[in-house]
Amino acid sequence: MRKKVLLHGPMLTRSGYGEQARFALRSLRAHEHLYDIYVHPVNWGQTSWIVEDSPEHKWIDSLCHKTRDFEIGGGKYDVSIQVTIPNEFKNMAPINIGYTAGIETTKVAPAWLEACNYMDKIIVVSNHSKEIFLNSVYKAAHPETGQEITLRSETPISVVNYPVRAKKAAKEFELELDYDFNFLAIAQFGPRKNLPNTISWFMDEFKDDEVGLVLKTSMAKNCLMDRNYTETNIKQIMAKHKDSKCKVYLIHGNMSEEELSALYQHEKIKAFVTIAHGEGYGLPIFEAAHYGLPVISPAWSGQNDFLFVPQKDKKTGKVKTRGLFSKVEYTVAPVQKEAVWDGVIQEDAMWCYPEESSFKQQMRSVKEKYSTSLSRAKKLKKYLTENFTEEIMYDNFVEAMDISTGSKPKESDDSQKIVML
Q: What is the CATH number of the domain that holds 34?
A: 3.40.50
Q: Cβ-count burial of 185 within 10 angstroms (0-12 exposed, 13-18 middle, 19+ buried)?
A: buried
Domain with 257 in it: what CATH number? 3.40.50.2000
According to the model, what pLDDT value does residue 418 have? 65
Show the low-confidence residues of the chain (pLDDT under 50): 405-415
Convert the pLDDT of each residue in 276-290 to its tens digit.
Answer: 999 999 999 999 999
347 by DSSP, 3-state: which?
A: coil
Answer yes or no: is 379 within a domain: yes
- On whether residue 73 sits in a domain, the answer given is yes
* Co-location of 80 and 198 in the same domain: no
What local confidence, expressed as pLDDT, does residue 167 receive? 81
Does 22 share its domain with 97?
A: yes
Please check whether residues 263 and 303 belong to one and the same domain.
yes
For residue 189, give its domain range: 182-388
To the nearest 10 degrees (0 to 180), the angle between helices 55-72 and 16-29 is: 80
Residue 56 in any domain: the answer is yes
| 329 within a domain of the structure (yes/no) | yes
Q: Do 47 and 140 belong together in one domain?
A: yes
Is-contact 121 155, C-beta < 8 A?
Answer: yes
- Same domain for 19 and 83: yes
Whether residue 324 lies inside any domain: the answer is yes
Residue 173 half-sphere exposure toward CB, CA atoms < 13 A:
20
Predicted local confidence at residue 414, as pLDDT: 45
What pLDDT, on a 0 to 100 scale, did the predictor assign at position 7? 98
- Pair type for strands 3-9 and 79-83: parallel
* 314 & 407 share domain: no
**pLDDT tens-digit series, residues 107-121:** 999 999 999 999 999
Residue spans of alpha helices (H) in 208-282 = 224-238, 257-264
Give the per-residue pLDDT at 413: 47
Q: Is 10 exposed, middle or buried (CB count within 10 Å of its CB: 0-12, 13-18, 19+)?
A: buried
Together in a domain, 150 and 213: no
Question: 322-333 as b/e, with b when 16 or more CB fall inside 10 Å?
Answer: eebbbbbebeee
User: 8 and 135: one domain?
Assistant: yes
How many helices (DSSP H) and strands (DSSP E) are in the chain? 12, 19
Q: Is residue 175 part of a domain?
A: no
In a domain, 156, yes or no: yes
pLDDT at 221: 62
Q: How far apart are CA 398 and CA 34, in angstroms?
A: 10
Of 126, 55, 64, 123, nearest in space to 89 by CA: 123
- The pLDDT assigned to 417 comes to 61
Please check whether residues 213 and 238 belong to one and the same domain. yes
Residues 396 and 366 in one domain: no
**Count of structural domains, the chain:** 2
